[in-house]
Structure 1
């Protein structure tokens, strides 16, 4: 019989031997308790070491699935008694790999960015720190998959209501278009920050926030609303009826082309807007539109303010003089 050393045992465990050699190893395994312990220990050390080294450089889920396939394949190639031993050590091995994989996974930096979009209806999302954000339709939120490094910064395009969980020494920051941002420390507030030329607005319900834009820094108190126009770099602060502000879907525009507002209407109501002439697209509108109202009301306000008219044919709107 060929001398059985660790190299031969390793080839057996890796399934590289032919059937006669496999039977010799199995017979050798049955002859003594010392032989059984030797093969079992090599099995654990060989494959546990292999999996732990791989876990640091590959996807841990994929590694675990690969390990399971290898164990199952090895079971089918050996006789019943060996399958029982392999199963016992496989359980130890799998537990070790899972613990090590979780440690490596949880302690590596996670720089993934998650995106939630509310395209046709409102939706809610709970962030890793427990903060809850309710997105208004046609809005989008980007946030890191993990806040473990203390970085609680998210980016909003559109409108959302924030209920921010408190964390000592870890402020929560919402960045927006036009370089406007809101810094909070555990509070409830509503923020509008669309990527068109409408005003960026924040209404504070409770707690405290700092609103920052360009050279402006304003500390808000509950019941206050700040409006910032990026085109004019103009900022206003006022006391408002919070319930009324949250119930309405008001959008304030200042000197915005009709073509751009038409795009907002199309996105929100899902209805096409066309112009009889190119010149009409450049007419500017200044005013506030309530997107809780029917589209005909929006168009009435828009056309009366710009001395234009509109025709509606089903799902198609045409603006003309």
Structure 2
């Protein structure tokens, strides 16, 4: 089936017009041909509420309204020649915007890479540099807030039987529950977290020896080494990739407040604190070996300057810092 015929059927779907059996078969076959087709079908059948989109996506709200308006106009236009021109023009626009929705909606601080893993699959990878936080809307309307120095990737068959993303770094997930019950899975460093619709945080940087999952609401199942543990809201699981140990702790969710720029530390080694500082400020702070195991308790707000945060740390730990060129040296 050609795209213009698919466009006619999608227009009927958006206008809640009953499809014939032949049209149902045709659109189903067309939908399965590509990831972009899947996105256009999802776009037409779900008819996402414009008001439900985040405020920073005003541009996409306008696109959505314009497409719906143009479809309505093209379907009701009495002159065939004008309708045909309008339809072809709108078809081109819809496919252009479908590409945007197929990739997910990404804030400007992130970088999107596309790579072909085989003849039928494309890998979408979102990279967030140090010093940045980005919010992404996935093709299923789930929202992911990605922390500094992190990568999130998913395949073009994301909307198939199981929604799977791969994470290197830290991200907060607001997973949209699917009517068909499709699960959502986050894979990282040999672990997998399985959910259906929930909110949770995952921290899994490659240079750390742990994977942490914190559940805000709903339910998740953490899987690793042929073992699985179910978490309840306000619980955090820490998995040690070296000794394979899993520990479940009660949490007040402070470790998810990085989304709002707030980092709370309780008896955390300066080595780990400085690693986080370097990520969120895109800085180069070096700590000498003798000071790495000093523990720090306190709060850091990324909206404050790096110097302010270092002042907070040094005052609490009895250390001091010195800046030489672009490097900051911290020691006892």
Normalising by the smaller structure, the TM-score range is 0.5 to 0.7
Higher gyration radius (CA):
1
Q: Distance in 2 between matches of 1:250 and 1:148?
A: 36
The 1:298–1:254 alpha-carbon spacing in structure 2 relative to 1, beyond 3 Å, is: closer
Task: Please report how far the alpha carbon of residue 156 of structure 1 lies from its aligned counterpart in structure 2 after TM superposition.
Answer: 1.3
Q: Distance in 1 between matches of 2:125 and 2:268?
A: 30
In structure 2, what is the equivalent of residue 214 of structure 1?
225
In structure 2, what is the equivalent of residue 271 of structure 1?
283
Task: Please report how far the alpha carbon of residue 288 of structure 1 lies from its aligned counterpart in structure 2 after TM superposition.
Answer: 6.9
1:269–1:295 CA contact under 8 A, matched in 2: no
In structure 2, what is the equivalent of residue 26 of structure 1?
none
Q: Distance in 2 between matches of 1:117 and 1:290?
A: 29
- The alignment's C-alpha RMSD in Å is 4.5
In structure 2, what is the equivalent of residue 117 of structure 1?
127
- Deviation digits for residues 25-54 of structure 1, max 9, x if unmatched? xxxxxxxxxxxxxxxxxxxxxxxxxxxxxx
Q: Distance in 1 between matches of 2:244 and 2:299?
A: 25
The 3-state SS of whatever aligns with 1:165 is: coil
The 1:303–1:211 alpha-carbon spacing in structure 2 relative to 1, beyond 3 Å, is: farther
Q: Distance in 1 between matches of 2:296 and 2:231?
A: 22
1:127-146 → structure 2 map (5 Å cutoff): 127-146=138-157
1:234-313 → structure 2 map (5 Å cutoff): 234-242=245-253, 244-247=254-257, 248-249=262-263, 265-274=277-286, 280=288, 285=293, 292-293=300-301, 294-298=309-313, 310-313=321-324
Q: What is the TM-score of this pair, normalised by structure 2?
A: 0.52
Gap regions ≥5 residues in structure 1: 1-55, 61-87
In structure 1, what is the equivalent of residue 210 of structure 2?
199
The 3-state SS of whatever aligns with 2:249 is: strand
Count of aligned residue pairs for this structure pair: 221
Q: Distance in 2 between matches of 1:246 and 1:222?
A: 13
Gap regions ≥5 residues in structure 2: 1-32, 38-80, 100-118, 302-308
The 1:263–1:220 alpha-carbon spacing in structure 2 relative to 1, beyond 3 Å, is: closer
The 1:274–1:226 alpha-carbon spacing in structure 2 relative to 1, beyond 3 Å, is: closer
The 3-state SS of whatever aligns with 2:208 is: coil
Task: Please report how far the alpha carbon of residue 151 of structure 1 lies from its aligned counterpart in structure 2 after TM superposition.
Answer: 3.1
The 3-state SS of whatever aligns with 1:245 is: helix
- Deviation digits for residues 236-292 of structure 1, max 9, x if unmatched? 1122213x3322535899999x5x8766543332322357xxxx5598648677783
2:184–2:195 CA contact under 8 A, matched in 1: yes
Q: What is the TM-score of this pair, normalised by structure 1?
A: 0.54
